Structure formats: structure tokens, C-alpha cells
Structure 1
């Protein structure tokens, strides 16, 4: 055999050896890979969470706050979720989610292999990920047992757990987890919370049209939100209905009917949250300290409160409108900013993202850009997001004469000119139609602040509380936390103390200049608001006209220490300096303190500490806290005591109430008889004159018996009005957070605070019967001379109220 032939025969043998070696290597690599994969899967399986724990599903549950009539007024939560059992969910709602999210849910064992192939094929055709293949079971494992990381390891874990879940739980149990856990937009987790958020209903009240809207949300909750974009939500609704028809869950006729069913979409929860924010924040602070964060935000507490939802809404509206009126008297401050022409589109697009309603809401304020000017008509075209509207001349009248400039750029006098590109706040007078045609009024966010507190005097329950103009911008609750000089609103406390010491409404005091030593060789000379002096005046006229000098003289005669002790009986806890300036309201107190003090006058002398929580229960209904029933002590006997400064004897002051135990128990202090029913009636009667013919006359607008008092501090830094009807006591404060800043012209209590009070009270008492203040049997009516306070003859003079035994004995001229 030749050399060439031998070489040729060796080559096939070498090739066979090479391929055998290669095959061995490949087989070894496959085996090693499979062993590696198997080991990796085994490693993952060893560290997988237990599926069994899902059987004891206890997700974070929202704690709910209820008003005095049982209506839901607020919530505390990390995730807004209200868990409902599957048997409360309509079958068609479940079918809608199954049809839209996992058509083979009832046939697969956790993983839908057919769905995976179908999705892969569609995604391949479109060259982009257009359809997913996760089953409902896989979605539950991802949200409840795993993290949302996008890794191969997570997908493997998800598949393993989905198989295990299907082995341990029934289909209905998996749906229970899914439909209570899933996020559906607008802060709502689960179908019950979503039904309430979007439609104001429970799931068992939903129509098929509404069910299809909810079932369309999981894919993209924000994009398909019916609040943000109803048109896109309807498109997704159509898809869900088509899928339900395809799966045989509904007929084509039912689908068509659902498509045509009108939808009433709620405007979102922000409006309600804004209205109750300060009230809820006070409760949150208390509840969190008492029960802890976990129980408050996750435990499903039920908190029953004294808040009246209608009154709270009225308070919110009245304070905001009133502060805007005060602020506009300060003048227009100019545009918020000035945009270049090329910046307008981007700015408006950002504004559009924040508008959560299909149409601009009448009465709401939005930020807009001036994009057109008509100088001849004195009007401007304003763009708010993707909507446009007219800002007419009369809508800018409050700002004075403004120059409308048909060019971009900041003007030389910002507060007097509005160029193109000016960013301004506008209030909707007429809503837009098809995103155009709105009518606006120029607006601006007030710099001035305010507070309102309204209390039921017979229980001490706080019915409404507003602590500022906008909680989102300032969480400082001025109703509770602000300490401001009370001004003349403190005078009724001094006058009531004087009535208790023997003064009467007819007691005459000289309104004349007076000086008091102030130490270090200096003197203090109190002055009247109008710098005039009237000579002899009765206590009634002094309070009606809020005469400063007379108030100081009354305080001097009854004693500062007595007045301070009397104020403490009315619930004041702030430090009150014992000096004569107290008569002019030098004490710094909170609106809540001052308002609650007046409740004793409206409640026959009985003071009840204000409160807002009636009862708290846990998620199972167990009572954790409940306010005890009130037991009001009997009033002291109406027996005269010694005379003061020649006046007839008065009713004695009630005894001091025992102090609370050092450990703070009981949780709620008992009612106390702060003063006598007779004194409470007389000071009320005096304050009726303040409203009828004095500084508080604007409160008479509610057209029913009202008692109240204005308050204005030096340089108009604080404006007050505290007033009441027999069923409700309300206090209003207005001022700047910077305590050195004046409210300026129109900043008195009668002009700045009383109109807010009247606007609120007209709404708050609209459904209450008109009542007069009850006159105690021990009070008599006697005709006296209005100037001298002495008895009047015949039909002369005016009727005056006296505690029996304190009436004047001398006639005019004697």
C-alpha cells in the first residue's frame, strides 16, 4: 500500500475521533448546563416565600373617618384599600377582569402556555412588546410575594409560585387576593376602593358599564383613568365589553347597552380632602400618638367624629372667599411669572397634566397664560393647559386699571400691566365646552390667612374647623396653634366677670381720659378706637360700641386677678398676664380657645371642653375609645350677695371645679358650671346689641337672634368675630402669619372677619329652627333711661335685663 493510500485511510479515522470528542464535549456541556439550571432552580425554590401565608391575607386597610351623620369624611392610609369578599363582588365584575386580563384563567394551572405563544407571535409581528402573557395568578405572586424587579430570576420564581398557588388555593381565593390587591389608579387599591373613588358606589351597586371601566384599568391605571381622560377610558371599556362577548359572559345586546349607559364620574377625592384637611390633621396627630402608625394607617380603624360635613364644606368655602376679598383689597400683586413665546407650549402641557377633570370646574382657580390681547375691548385670551377662555375687562376690575400689552416680556410696572406670556391665576366664571369658551375672572392666591372654628355649645363637639387658606401650602393650623392678641373680642370675658361681681347692663361708667402708672416713671394712657370720649355711658353702650377706656375702668374695679380666674373657668389655658391691658385684648390666645370660651355664654354658663372624636373602633368593631355621656352639674342658686361699688348685689360665682387627677384621667374632663345661667344670659343679651346696633352689625345678615363681638388689634394686625346662635358658636380670625403686618384698610373685625362669619353661618344654620336665647326665670325686664341707667317713668326709656334683686331703685331725675 502506498504512502498516499495509508494517509487517505487515516483521515476518516481522525475525523471520527474529532467528532466523537466534540460530541462528548457538547453532551458534557449540556449535562453541566442542565445540572446548573437544575441547581439554580433548586436554589431559587429553597428561598421562595411560602404560598400558604396568602391564606391568611391581611393587607393594609384604610382607616375611615365619619362625620356626625355617619357620612365618610376622611381617611388615613398608606394604600387606599377596602377589602371585600368575592361573594359581594358581582359575577359580571369578576368576568370583566378575567376576560380583559386572563381569558384562560379558569382552565390553566397558573401559567397560560397558549397565551405566551399568542403574545410572542403578536409581539414578533409588531416588532414591539404590545401584549403581555402574565396570568392573574402570576400577577398575584408578583405583587404579594415578590419584588417588581425585571430579572429572569424573578420570572422563574413567579412561574414556580404561580403553580404552587394553583395547587393550594381555589380560583375564587386567587380572585379574592387579586381583586382586593390590584392598583386601579387615583390612589385606589382593590375594586371596592376604586368603585368608591370613581363612582361613589360599592362594588355591588355597579352597572355593567362601570364594571367594564374598572376592568380596563389594570393595564395602565393613569392612562385609562376616567377622571383624567374619559375618552380613552371609554375606548378601553369597549375593549373589555368585546372580550366579555367573545368569552360568552354577556350578549352583544348587553354590550351595546353598556356602551350607551351614561357614566357619572366623580371629580376625584382632592376637593373633599382639601376641605377637611386641617380637621383631619388634628385628629391624625392624636390618633397616631395613641394607637401608633401601623394601626392608624394599616389597621382599618373606624373613627366617629363631631364634624358636620355640610358645615365643614361651608366653612372651607366661606374662609377662602372671605380671605380672597380681604386680599384683593390689598391690590393686585402682578403676574406670577412672564414666559417667552417659545416657553408657552411646554408650560401649558405641564399644567394640563395636573387638571383631573374633563371640563374646568366653575368656581375653581387655575393657572393660565395670556396668549392673546384685544386692547380695544380690554380683554385677554387665556390658555389653561389645553383649554382656552376669555378674561374680560369686568373680570379684572378689582385690580384697577391694567395695561394689556401685545408683546412678550416683563413690564416695567408688573402690578399694573399684563403682557403676552404673563402667567396669572384665573377663576372660572363659566366652564369651558369642548376645551374652549370658558369665561374667567382674574384671581390671586391670598397672602392673608384665616381660621374658623364652629362648636355645638350643648356638647362641646367641634362641627367645623379651618386652619388656613390652603393646607397643601401650609400645614400650620391657625385655629389651634396660632396665638394671637384677642383685641376687643376678649371684652365679653371682662364684662361677664363684672356682671358676676355686681355690675349690671345699666351700670354707668365715665368714658373719659385716664392714665395709669407703667413703671420707670412712665404712664399708660388707654385710648378709644375713634379717639373720642362720650362721658357717662352704660355697660351696654360701652360693649356695643367697644369703648376701650370704659373696659379698662371696669377691669380695674373688678380686679385683674378675678378676671384672670374667670377666664380660666371658661377654658383658657394660654398664659394670661394679669394687667389692665387685658381689657383691650392683650392676651395671646388661639381661635379655638376664644371660641370655646363663648360656648359657656351660649350654654347657660356651662363650659364643655371642645372635642372632635366621639368613638374609635378597630377593624373588627371592638370599641377602643368612646366619649362618656355628659352629666351637667346643677346651676348655683340665684341668691344675691354683697354689693360692689354701690351696685345692687349679684349672683355668686359658681364654685371652682375639682382638678383632674395627676394621671390625666378621666380622658374627657366633666362639664363645669363656669358661670351662672343669669350671667350667661346677660352677657349674651349685651352682645345681641353689638350685632343689632354696634360693630358687629354685619352678623345680623343671618336674620335670627345673634350675639357676638368683633375684635381688632393695634394697627389692624388681627381681625376677629366670635358670635353665636343658641345652637352654634363660631369664631373667625383673619391676619397675616407675619404678626407685624397690618391688614390695612378694611382690616377691622367688622369688615374682615364678620363677613366670613355671616357667610358661613347662613349656610350652617339654614336647616335649624330659629330660636331666641332663653331667659332665666330669675331675670327681669325693667324700663330704664338708656343714658343714666336709672328707672324710667311710663313709656320712656328702654327695656333692660337684670338679675332679680339687682334692678335700679332710683328714677331718672332723683
Structure 2
């Protein structure tokens, strides 16, 4: 018995010593494998890459973790107190570990037979998030405890809170308090009220469960708990807590309404950043990307393209409805609409779907959500004549397979698209609409800087992400002609040159060895005889263009197009003069900016400056942003502006294209009520419609066509199908600029000429008009008849003298 007691006592003494030795050994063993807390002083978490418009407005964000670093000094004192009260009340007292909390959690974990509750301090949470993994094991907790003690020695309490409040996940992809403040309240963190601070402080325990978006009432209960904890810890008074609890907090989801407006442009920027810097830097590097997009112009551009495509769809006639719903399906349809409209009420001018429920005289009766509406048949002539028929009868559009008009049948239960006209009383006044099938693109560029101010790549980005402004190569038709004519001016032609518009026939051998004829024709199917260079372009005469191209040389013209910015290799035959080489709208517009900019090519750009997370400039189009020793690959890769044609040639082609607007195919552009130059483009089969034009300060291209190429419809030329979008855009866009005429180079000469033969006329001749000429290119003689008139006039003057 004595021996047993002796050994027992020895064990009692040895066990604590053995345990202590084991603990010390484990400490040194684990310590050797732990990361260094010193690395936290260089805290560089994943940050948001932000894209800015030219006025500094954020138009897009890219990130894996939506985080915005905010200095501790900018965090409201009550925000810090709220998180401390809710998460670690003794934070300012302990040295990294709260042994009471650990003991309390340990007892619960023993009972549960595993990790059921943590006793982590804020310091421990930082250690886990930044230095360890999130595995729920005792080993990880041991490491966490060691690191927490080390952190408290190396970092101040403010440093630890800075890390914690920037790192913590607070729901809906928001990491850190600044991102959460934007997410839930559309505010910066320093603008938060006490009530809002308490809501954020209640989120870490279960961000999804306490989300004010999904569970507002639950979030408010959690807010009340946080406020009570703050009172208990002496951070605020009960009066302040009661006032905060009574405050009606407005939850404002961070919905960027610009995302759809600038979507095509945003994607263009995103692709460039990913290609240039890689996806890791794009989504985690916190890049600040300044762009050239002008939001007022972009809004107008998008609406102009959409409205133009809708008008085109109406001109093609009403297509038969595709969906007819039975009674049960209609009720589900209405229930979904009621829920949708409760969040986003339908506004005047908005589009929606409605169900046809009957006809009353000259009105179609519809229902949408829990409201009835009417469509005037008289005001829907584009789709008429309309008639509602029984549900079992087959629907029909108002065009048959041959394009002939017929009656439009709308079965009961038909799903149709409508636009809200008026909703002051029920039934609502609606207009019948039709979703377009054709697509469009519009790009606007400042010709002097090359900066893209607006870009629309299609009807709706959510339906198709294909950017037709930069990716779609389509035949430009007659829009290529100004380039051919500019090349001719540099080859000796003048605006007064006269070319015969007469039939042409070309023969060439095809692969079978047979001869094939090609007869270029004018759009009007006529020939006009002697035609001035100016009128040929103004009236878009195809035959004259082919003759000019044949004279100046195909290779010369192709090389000329290349130096103007057309990067696509041109098809080197005579069809090039009629636009047989497919190009993108951006390419075509780039060439026209050379004319607008007096002969200088400024390559287009959409990014003006890129900064990294530390504010260092990575790329810029401004040379002043860089020191002389900056590496070339840190600059924006863009060719510098360069003169490619003379100022005289640029002015002359501009002056001729002013005639296109005044008296030719570009007549619609007169509606902007200021000097402009431009050219329509239409392919022979009407598959592509273009209008490219400019004022002295802004150039713009509009294109319309089907993705799966097919004719746009009868008479759907560039003037009818594409120019209206250009006009609607420019009417608003030009308001940013003062009224201005195109600058005339000092060397340009003006002489009276005869349009019929291009020769000089006497100044007082009623047939004379003043034509512009490059220096030394004006005609030097008159026709024999005109010379006789001039001599007679001179003799008369001498007799009077």
C-alpha cells in the first residue's frame, strides 16, 4: 500500500511536468511551421478593379472578392465599437486570447464531441483568415492561439482592427466594411449612422441569415442585439440606442444602372485588361481604369440604336405571335408579373409583355399583372388590320411569304409586346410593339484625340454579347466611296472633274474557264452621262466610282485605304469601289476621322489611364504621366498621331461630303441643324445599311443588318435604315459643342466653274458655281463659248470706259 501511494504521488507530480513538457515541445514544433506575423504589415488583399467614365463615374467593377480598402482613420468610431461589442467585448483588454471565452467554448465542445462553438477573439479571426486555413480542428486552433499572441506583440489594436474590418465577409460578395456600406446603404463607410453601423456589425455571425435584403426583420432584431451590447459595454447610452433602433434605415441595393447602358464598352475594356495584364491582376489587383466614354452621349446612343431597330422592325410588318397561353398558364404569367412590378413598377415608355383578352370596337383588350390595358387599332396601322380570334385559331402576321399585306390575327391568350403610354386611369393606354430581329451598332469618336465617346454593339447586351461595333465585319457598300474619291484627288482629280456615267461591261474567266460578265449599275438603274466628281459622290453614282478606281489603280486605292486606318486587307479588284471588302464599323469610322481631323490619323482609343492599387500609373495616353526612364511596355500601346493625307485633300473630301448632306443621299443629316459631312452605304442586296458622318468636333458611324445575313427589306438603304439612328444621336450629342464650320486651309482656292464641263466660267455667269480646289489644280481655261462671252464682256467694259 505504501509503495502504491508512493508511485501514485510520483505520478501526480510527473503528469503536470510531462504535460507541460509536451505542451512546450508542441509549441516549439508548431511554431517552426507557422507563418510570420510580420507579413501582415504588408496587407495586400484582393481588391476590386474599377472602370470609370470620362467624368469619374464608376461604370463597371471586376473582382473575385468585392473589397475596397479603407484606412482605419476613416472608419467611424461607432462602427468600430459596434463590431467590438458584438464580436469581442474584451478586445481592448486581452492580449490576443480571451481565456474565459475559450473555457466556455471548450466545455460546449466536449459535450458536443467536436468543434461546436468557437471562442475566437477578433485577433484570432484575423490570424485564421490571413495566415491559416478555415479547417475546424484543435491543431488549427492551437496555431491560431500562438499567432494571436504574436500578433498582439507585433501589431497595435488599431492595426488589428484595420485588418479585420477590411477582410471580413459581410454577405452578397462584400468583403470589408466599405464594400458592405456601398452594398446595403449606397454610402461610403464614413457616412454611416449608428443604426447602419449596428446592422453591419450584426452580419459576421451569419451574413446570409441576417442579410437586410433577404431577411429585413431578422436583421433588425440582430441590430437591436448589437445596440444592447454597445450599451452594456458603455460605448453608447440607452437613449442613443433607442434612437438608432427607431431609425428607419433605407436599404439601397447597390445596383449599377449603368451596367446595361455601357455593357458593350465595358466588355471591350475587360477583354483588353485581361489580355494585357492577365485575369489574376484584373480580378484581384484593384486596377483603376480611366476611360473615354461620355455617359450623356452613351445614354443617347443606346436609345437611338434601340429605337431605330424597333422602327425598322415595324416597317417589316407584324410577325405572327409565337406564344398563346391557356387559362392556367396565364394565371402563372400574371402572378410573376405582379411580383416583378412590385419591385420595379412599370414606368411611362417602358416595354412589357401583355396577354390579349379580347377586342372591343377598334381597341385590343389586354391584361398585364393585375391591370387591364387597351391598344388602339387605328394607331397600330403598321401591324394592321388587326383582329382578335378564338384561341384555337391559328395566329398570323400582316405579311405573307411574298411580303404582301394581309390581316393580322391575334388569338385569345396571345403574348404580345407593348409599351406603356399612359397609366393615370385604368385601363392603361398601351401601344403595340415588336421586338427587333435586326441588329445595329453605333460608335462616336472625337477625331482630334481618337477617344471613343460612345459605343453600342447591338440591341441588348443581355441577349447577345457580340460587339458588332468592333467585331462584326460587314460590307460597307457606298460608304467606302469617300476613300476612293480622296485617293483620286491625290491623283490629279478635282471636285470639278467630269466623268461620263455610261454603261460598263467587264469580262473575266471563272474557274470553269467560261467568261463571266459584270455590269456595274447605279442604284436608280439609270445612267446620267457627263457627271461632275462632286455630284458623283453626292449622288453615290456607282459607275463613275468604278471608272475613277480603274483610272487611279486598284493597288493604289487599297494602300490609300490602309493608311487611313482600314486594317482589313482590301479585295483588290474593281468591286472594291462598291464596298466589297468587309470591315468593322470602328474601322470605317477611323478612316472618316482623318477627313474630320485635317488629314491626321489618330488611332482610336477607349482607355486613357490605368493605375495600380498603389496609384502608380501603368499605362496612359498622356506622355506627361511618365518619366523619361519609364519602360516602353508600361505605356499604352498605341501608334502616335500621324499625318497621312494633306489638309487640302481632307478639306476637299469633307466639302464634297457636305454636298452629300445638302443634296444627296445623306439628306437626313440636315436635321441636326449644323454643318456636317457624311456618306450613306448600302450593299446591292440591301443586307447592310450604313451612315458615317461628322461635324468638326465629333464623328459617328451607324450600321444596321442581320447577324445571319439577309436583306433588310425593300428600300432599306443606308439613308432609311441607318441614318435615323445617327441623326437621333447627333441631335443630342452636338449640344456639348459650339456651332462651328469646317476649317478651310488657307491654301484652298475657290473659282467659278461650269458643272457640265468643269471649266472656268466668268464670275457673273448665272450658270457658274464656286468650286474648291487644292492649290494649282483649278482649271486654267474656259470653254470656247465662255471665252467668247468673256471677250465680249471685256470689250463692252472698255467701250463704257
* 1:783 match: 752
TM-score by length of 2: 0.78
Counterparts in 2 of 1:318 and 1:210: CA distance versus 1, 3 Å: farther
> Quick check: 356-365 or 799-808, which moved more?
356-365
Instruction: Give 3-state SS (helix, strand or coil) of 1:392's partner.
Output: strand
Structure 2 residue 635 is matched with structure 1 residue 680: no
Report if aligned partners of 1:242, 1:255 keep a CA contact under 8 Å in 2.
Answer: no
* 1:800 match: 771
Shift of 1:769: 1.1
Shift of 1:339: 4.9
Q: Work out the CA distance in 1 between the residues paired with 2:605 and 2:445.
A: 9
Residues 268-307 of structure 1: matches in 2 within 5 Å? Answer: 268-269=255-256, 271-307=257-293
Structure 2 residue 469 is matched with structure 1 residue 479: yes
Counterparts in 2 of 1:730 and 1:174: CA distance versus 1, 3 Å: same
Pick the aligned partner of 2:550 from 553, 556, 566. Answer: 556
Residues 97-246 of structure 1: matches in 2 within 5 Å? Answer: 97-99=83-85, 106=92, 140=126, 143-144=129-130, 170-197=156-183, 200-208=186-194, 210-211=196-197, 214-215=200-201, 218=204
* 2:344 match: 359
Structure 2 residue 661 is matched with structure 1 residue 706: no
Q: Work out the CA distance in 2 between the residues paired with 1:134 and 1:334.
A: 65
Counterparts in 2 of 1:734 and 1:794: CA distance versus 1, 3 Å: same
Structure 2 residue 611 is matched with structure 1 residue 614: no
Instruction: Give 3-state SS (helix, strand or coil) of 1:73's partner.
Output: strand
* 1:598 match: 592
Counterparts in 2 of 1:402 and 1:492: CA distance versus 1, 3 Å: same
Report if aligned partners of 1:68, 1:306 keep a CA contact under 8 Å in 2.
Answer: yes
Counterparts in 2 of 1:483 and 1:165: CA distance versus 1, 3 Å: same
> Quick check: 523-532 or 44-53, which moved more?
44-53
Shift of 1:165: 6.1
Report if aligned partners of 2:186, 2:253 keep a CA contact under 8 Å in 1.
Answer: yes
* 2:561 match: 567
Q: Work out the CA distance in 2 between the residues paired with 1:348 and 1:52.
A: 60
Counterparts in 2 of 1:229 and 1:507: CA distance versus 1, 3 Å: farther
Report if aligned partners of 1:391, 1:441 keep a CA contact under 8 Å in 2.
Answer: no
Instruction: Give 3-state SS (helix, strand or coil) of 2:261's partner.
Output: helix
* 2:522 match: 528
TM-score by length of 1: 0.77
Which structure 2 segments of 5+ residues have no match? 1-11, 108-116, 398-407, 625-632, 787-801
Shift of 1:573: 1.5
Shift of 1:708: 0.7
Instruction: Give 3-state SS (helix, strand or coil) of 1:74's partner.
Output: strand
* 2:305 match: 319
User: Could you list the per-position Cα deviations for residues 124-150 of structure 1 after superposition, in whole angstroms to 9, with x for gaps in the alignment?
Assistant: xxxxxxx99876556556654566678
Q: CA RMSD in A?
A: 4.7
Pick the aligned partner of 1:501 from 462, 487, 491. Answer: 491
Q: How many residues align?
A: 738
Structure 2 residue 362 is matched with structure 1 residue 393: no
Pick the aligned partner of 2:699 from 729, 742, 747. Answer: 729
Counterparts in 2 of 1:679 and 1:468: CA distance versus 1, 3 Å: same
Report if aligned partners of 1:497, 1:563 keep a CA contact under 8 Å in 2.
Answer: yes
Q: Work out the CA distance in 1 between the residues paired with 2:679 and 2:138.
A: 72
Instruction: Give 3-state SS (helix, strand or coil) of 2:274's partner.
Output: helix
Pick the aligned partner of 2:723 from 754, 764, 775. Answer: 754
Pick the aligned partner of 2:712 from 743, 765, 768. Answer: 743
Report if aligned partners of 1:389, 1:432 keep a CA contact under 8 Å in 2.
Answer: no
Shift of 1:667: 3.8
Q: Work out the CA distance in 1 between the residues paired with 2:348 and 2:106.
A: 51
Shift of 1:744: 1.2
Q: Work out the CA distance in 2 between the residues paired with 1:424 and 1:148.
A: 53
Q: Work out the CA distance in 2 between the residues paired with 1:525 and 1:157.
A: 86
* 1:810 match: 782
Residues 247-258 of structure 1: matches in 2 within 5 Å? Answer: 249-250=235-236, 252=239, 256=243
Instruction: Give 3-state SS (helix, strand or coil) of 1:550's partner.
Output: helix
Instruction: Give 3-state SS (helix, strand or coil) of 2:467's partner.
Output: coil
Which structure 1 segments of 5+ residues have no match? 1-26, 122-130, 631-662
Instruction: Give 3-state SS (helix, strand or coil) of 1:595's partner.
Output: helix
Q: Work out the CA distance in 1 between the residues paired with 2:335 and 2:33.
A: 47
Q: Work out the CA distance in 1 between the residues paired with 2:93 and 2:445.
A: 61
Report if aligned partners of 1:245, 1:255 keep a CA contact under 8 Å in 2.
Answer: no
Counterparts in 2 of 1:359 and 1:316: CA distance versus 1, 3 Å: same
Report if aligned partners of 1:405, 1:420 keep a CA contact under 8 Å in 2.
Answer: yes
